[in-house]
Structure 1
Amino acid sequence: MTISVCTLAHGRETHLANLIAGLSRSQRRPDELVIAVMQPLRYDLPEAPFPIRQIMMGTSDIPLAAARNAAAGAARGEFLIFLDVDCIPAPSLVGDYARAGNEDEGVIMGEVAYLPKGATDGGIDFPAFDRLGVTHSERPGPPPSGLRACEDYRCFWSLNFALPARDFATIGGFDERYDGYGGEDTDFGRMVVEAGLPLWWVKGAKAYHQYHPHHMPPVHHLDSVLANAMAFAEKWGEPTMQHWLRAFVLMGLIERTEHGWRKLREAEETDLALTRQQEHQPYASSAVVLDWLEANAEAA
């Protein structure tokens, strides 16, 4: 079975170099790495013991759905592993996915450990990453061993997943009506189910998420979240990203109308400060912010 690793990148040159360095240390190396480049210039990449191809998207925006489709469309492998540019794969990740992919069809989601700021300053150090990495409090943990069915498509997570190329084609890829940030993951999970394919969590296939400043809920992507929430509701007849939308309402950024959601104002520095990932945090938490907003709304 030939294996292609697919990623998409905009900036974050050091993160991408670390992803390549991690893949280079794989116990089973991929047959290629395909990068969908969401910036005007190609990356100056380190040497690697496998082919690397850069697919230029011709944009400086972040068309996440289209970029994943472009990487998958250019991939030559029979089995596709998708990693976000922030991920450093553990030495066993490629092999773990290959074994799981031989067991069953469908989409497989591996483990993710979030690294604190500075964890990669000394280079690739997997024992240190295992000591420092933490799991996300808002994501399900892996099964004790092997595969476990994911019963809720809304849990699909594109950060670290894999599937046979034929299954990606059956699903139809990511819906490119979702432009920018928000909603395309949940839509893809729904399309997996609609295609009659299973979603799996797997023990192993671990990726280490490199620190970067972020906002949760993503007020810096307010416009695309609103547009993509409307697209999801029109397509499936039900809402998505409701926890983010609820937070935006409590922050006074949006209101709900009979026709959907309406933006009231742009995010300001106070909103960014509330949602900003602090330097001591390995990841930003929507739940913490939403709990704070709900508590303050009740006290008002």
Structure 2
Amino acid sequence: MRVSVIFTTYNHPKWLEKVLWGFSVQTYRDFEIVIADDGSNEETREVIERVSAEIDIPVKHIWHEDIDFRKCQILNKAILASEGDYLIFTDGDCIPHPAFVENHVAFSEKGHFLSGGYFKLPMDLSRKITKEDILSGNATKPSWLLDNGLKFTYKISKLISSKKWGAVLDFITPTKATWNGHSASTFREYVLQTNGFDERMQYGGQDREFGERLMNMGIKGKQVRYRCSCVHLDHKRGYARQESIDKNRAIRKATRKDKVVRTAYGLDQYVKSMADLDKA
């Protein structure tokens, strides 16, 4: 099964570099990385080119012009550029556990999408993590994080990513299995059937709306938050605006009420434009 890991980035080159190093030491090796870049500057491109030359995982950099928050648009372009039969989605500020890809592949199941987890780090520890910490696997080890100043919380158990104990914790957790931008995956065919992400949406719930359309289609969420985890590096969210959040809530409400499966504002427009170019 061909696998593609897709994640977004926007002008966070230092965080992006850490994420790329995290994917360079995955226990499962047969996958590609597709970076959905929402208009980052030259520094981001330089980081991608430099790290790509040093790792043995193929990397694609999909970029468009910086015109406000257009995460859904660039995600759709990245989906079309990907070659995997199975698509794993995360974010450019999330360092994956070394077994992240392996576990997503191992627990993949027809008729389902996987709902993974994350553990959010404070800013001081996000900055402290080095390349060596990532390559050694320390950056996602609870013991190392605690030794380096992290305050204990039971949520850190998500980073153990044990197939055995994680299954137990995923079974008893009251948290619902939803589509999470930091760690989620499903088969390419299902993504295409939904027509991808709804490009009317900006920041606030756009990932959840996509998952809700999957569920309307009959694709069930499978809880793997204790088995497919990552550490989330801290950052500001200057793009968070109440206006866009309210708009997205209205779209999500309609998606649930009308049992929408396929958005009219997704992948089709790019497929059509590419077909038109081929004809020309």
TM exceeding 0.5: yes
CA RMSD, 1 decimal: 3.1
Which of 113, 117, 121 is the equivalent residue of 1:111? 117
Task: Report how far residue 129 of structure 1 moved.
Answer: 3.6
In the alignment, does 2:233 pair up with 1:233?
Answer: no
- The 3-state SS of whatever aligns with 1:118 is helix
Task: Report how far residue 53 of structure 1 moved.
Answer: 0.9
Say how many residue pairs are matched: 231
Task: Report how far residue 119 of structure 1 moved.
Answer: 2.2
Whole-Å Cα distance in 1 between the matches of residues 98 and 86 of structure 2?
18
In the alignment, does 2:187 pair up with 1:164?
Answer: yes
Please tell me the residue identity of whatever aligns with 1:5: V
Q: Which residue of 1 aligns with 2:232?
A: 209
Task: Report how far residue 114 of structure 1 moved.
Answer: 1.5
Whole-Å Cα distance in 1 between the matches of residues 247 and 75 of structure 2?
19
Q: How do 1:16-95 and structure 2 match up within 5 A?
A: 16-39=16-39, 41=41, 43-44=45-46, 45=48, 46=51, 47-95=54-102
Please say which structure displays the higher CA radius of gyration. 1
Residues 150 and 184 of structure 1: is their aligned pair in 2 closer, same or farther, counting only changes over 3 Å? farther
Task: Report how far residue 61 of structure 1 moved.
Answer: 2.1
Task: Report how far residue 158 of structure 1 moved.
Answer: 1.6
Q: Which residue of 2 aligns with 1:190?
A: 212
Whole-Å Cα distance in 2 between the matches of residues 149 and 169 of structure 1?
32
Tell which has more relative contact order, 1 or 2 (C-alpha 8 A, sep 6+). Answer: 2
Task: Report how far residue 214 of structure 1 moved.
Answer: 4.4
CA contact 2:33–2:58 (8 Å) conserved in 1: yes
In the alignment, does 2:146 pair up with 1:130?
Answer: no
Please tell me the residue identity of whatever aligns with 1:106: H
CA contact 2:104–2:185 (8 Å) conserved in 1: yes
Provide Cα deviations, 1:228-262, integer angstroms capped at 9, x if missing partner. 22333344449xxxxxxxxxxxxxxxxxxxxxxxx
- The 3-state SS of whatever aligns with 1:62 is coil
Whole-Å Cα distance in 2 between the matches of residues 135 and 151 of structure 1?
14
Residues 128 and 236 of structure 1: is their aligned pair in 2 closer, same or farther, counting only changes over 3 Å? closer
Whole-Å Cα distance in 2 between the matches of residues 172 and 106 of structure 1?
17
In the alignment, does 2:197 pair up with 1:174?
Answer: yes
Task: Report how far residue 82 of structure 1 moved.
Answer: 0.7
Could you tell which deviates more after superposition, 63-72 or 142-151?
A: 142-151
CA contact 1:114–1:135 (8 Å) conserved in 2: no
Task: Report how far residue 122 of structure 1 moved.
Answer: 4.0
Instruction: Could you tell me which runs of 5 or more consecutive residues in structure 2 were left unpaired when the two chains were aligned.
Output: 259-280
Instruction: Could you tell me which runs of 5 or more consecutive residues in structure 1 were left unpaired when the two chains were aligned.
Output: 239-300
Residues 60 and 40 of structure 1: is their aligned pair in 2 closer, same or farther, counting only changes over 3 Å? farther
Identity of aligned residues (%): 23
Task: Report how far residue 127 of structure 1 moved.
Answer: 3.1
